[in-house]
Structure 1
């Protein structure tokens, strides 16, 4: 595991440099999830692939940018699913973006995830590593080394709300729930980048990030292996909860590498509100 995290640190430094210097334009292609790729998606994917394929403890990798998995070391024991550059559409307006890594043992599923790592490329480059605990590291750009900052824990209740999905297609009960959070004084904090938005809730101590199923996308938009399971693992280990509206996200099965799900991440208070809302909607 240490070897994989060391590889991810090297990956983060290279992607950080690419963000600063490479072309931010689009390419004439879609990724496996149907999203328009920017050039930095492709560059970042190549950086991650190059490092992980030579990491001896990795048996296989799967990228959000590719249709199928790639074999790595046949003697490895970890499967790595990753989103090389989450939120890449925000780069041309200079907002924070990130990379997400889910580390699995025994195959790709929520129950098999054993660690998660994500990187935030913002004014400062930060890395969060979730194993038994959730730890924050910050890149020292003079040495290109990540330095430990602190352990992260969510409070029982927060005040930040990140409501994703196109509001036009929200189900009425979901809209009512979000409106009620705002009536209770929650502050809107949503950039459209999953990594910076969830990072903010985590560092500020709590709140709710919601990306529901909608009328046009009943299964949601966010992908289980690359985005949902890793952040569910992070939030669970930080003392919060992560659900699809009814079930723990890490209890879900997958139907293909690029399977999606509605997802809610947050402190205990907010997630209990979500569960109550969605339980009532079923009646």
Structure 2
């Protein structure tokens, strides 16, 4: 099996970017250790604080966020970082070449039950037309990502990443502490009957979305043998889709604050869309390719459907082409 660095070099990734990726992964290994210790390390449970999203922070959320900030902001090549847990961009080196955004622990509601969680990250080139420490640094379309990936903490610690080419999967080898290439090129199945969605939100969805799921669940012969899988961690559901196909959906709904759903464009939708697309899948928001969306704010949310191309098309045709 190939080690991570030689694979990145063979893909033509620049040395500075390789070193930055190494820093992110070194931090992820520390997070993986904290996750594996659970209650033994006193990292379970919630804090008394809320993040910028209005969500109660888990202790491990705060720890993971701080670890990533501490490791990244001492890197000379990092101009700024943005986190789902931070109100604004955090400044690094004014001369840095890259900016990094991350969701330190996606699926944090699963922490206390030992469920699926993961770290999602994305790297962009620093903009020269705005201050290095401005939120506007991160107002870039997902198509400009240099690298996107996630680390999934489970029975094995997996890295899924693309630097513009194939979406590859690596497994953390605890023997020597490095990530080894275990899937050279992930491929999303063209079609699948599996889907991941929070059906508890059905009562809040718009009528066209409800009508689509009525067919999926009850009436549509084309949806026969459909099967729902929902882990309450986007990173886990997307990993399943990359592994065997399916769709992940998080539509907008009628509740105040949920007009654009709950998925963050910068921290979740863009990096996971890059991974899905580079594995042959599709990712869209209200019928638009997610990677072409021009952001308007740091914590912008978008409705999402991504996964097997045929399944994504069926949803878009049913909901947006009435």
Q: What do the CA deviations read for 1:178-204 (whole angstroms, capped 9, x no partner)?
A: 343443322111011111111011111
Write the distance in 1 (CA, Å) between the matches of 2:284 and 2:275: 13
Aligned 1:198-237 pairs, distance under 5 A: 198-204=238-244, 206-216=245-255, 217-237=258-278
Q: What residue is the counterpart of 1:128 in the other structure?
A: 160
Write the distance in 2 (CA, Å) between the matches of 1:114 and 1:277: 33
Report the 3-state secondary structure (helix = DSSP H, G, I; strand = E; otherwise coil) of the residue aligned with 2:302.
Answer: coil
Q: What residue is the counterpart of 1:152 in the other structure?
A: 186
2:67 corresponds to 1:47: yes
Unmatched runs of 5 consecutive residues or more in structure 2? 1-16, 128-136, 218-222
Write the distance in 1 (CA, Å) between the matches of 2:74 and 2:111: 29
2:139 corresponds to 1:102: no
Q: What residue is the counterpart of 1:118 in the other structure?
A: 150
Structure having the higher Rg: 2
Report the 3-state secondary structure (helix = DSSP H, G, I; strand = E; otherwise coil) of the residue aligned with 2:235.
Answer: helix
Match for residue 196 of structure 1 among 222, 236, 252 = 236
Does the 8 A contact of 1:61 with 1:71 survive in 2? yes
CA RMSD of the aligned region, Å? 1.4
Write the distance in 2 (CA, Å) between the matches of 1:2 and 1:142: 22
Q: What residue is the counterpart of 1:263 in the other structure?
A: 304
Q: What residue is the counterpart of 1:64 in the other structure?
A: 84
Q: CA deviation at 1:207?
A: 1.1
Q: What residue is the counterpart of 1:20 in the other structure?
A: 36
Does the 8 A contact of 1:163 with 1:178 survive in 2? no
Aligned 1:81-96 pairs, distance under 5 A: 81-96=101-116
Q: What do the CA deviations read for 1:8-37 (whole angstroms, capped 9, x no partner)?
A: 211111001111233211101101111110
Write the distance in 2 (CA, Å) between the matches of 1:236 and 1:245: 17
Write the distance in 2 (CA, Å) between the matches of 1:135 and 1:179: 36
Q: What residue is the counterpart of 1:8 in the other structure?
A: 24
Write the distance in 2 (CA, Å) between the matches of 1:269 and 1:147: 32
Give aligned pairs, total.
280
Write the distance in 2 (CA, Å) between the matches of 1:180 and 1:268: 19
Report the 3-state secondary structure (helix = DSSP H, G, I; strand = E; otherwise coil) of the residue aligned with 2:273.
Answer: helix
Write the distance in 2 (CA, Å) between the matches of 1:172 and 1:184: 22
Q: CA deviation at 1:3?
A: 1.3
Q: CA deviation at 1:215?
A: 1.0
2:212 corresponds to 1:172: no
TM-score (normalised: structure 1): 0.94
Q: CA deviation at 1:79?
A: 1.2
Q: What do the CA deviations read for 1:31-79 (whole angstroms, capped 9, x no partner)?
A: 1111110100000001111111122322110010000111122222211
Q: What do the CA deviations read for 1:200-247 (whole angstroms, capped 9, x no partner)?
A: 11111x111000011111111111111111111111111111100221
**CA 1:57 to 1:279, structure 2 compared with 1: closer, same or farther past 3 Å?**
same
Write the distance in 2 (CA, Å) between the matches of 1:178 and 1:161: 11
Q: What do the CA deviations read for 1:147-175 (whole angstroms, capped 9, x no partner)?
A: 10112011211232001361221122212
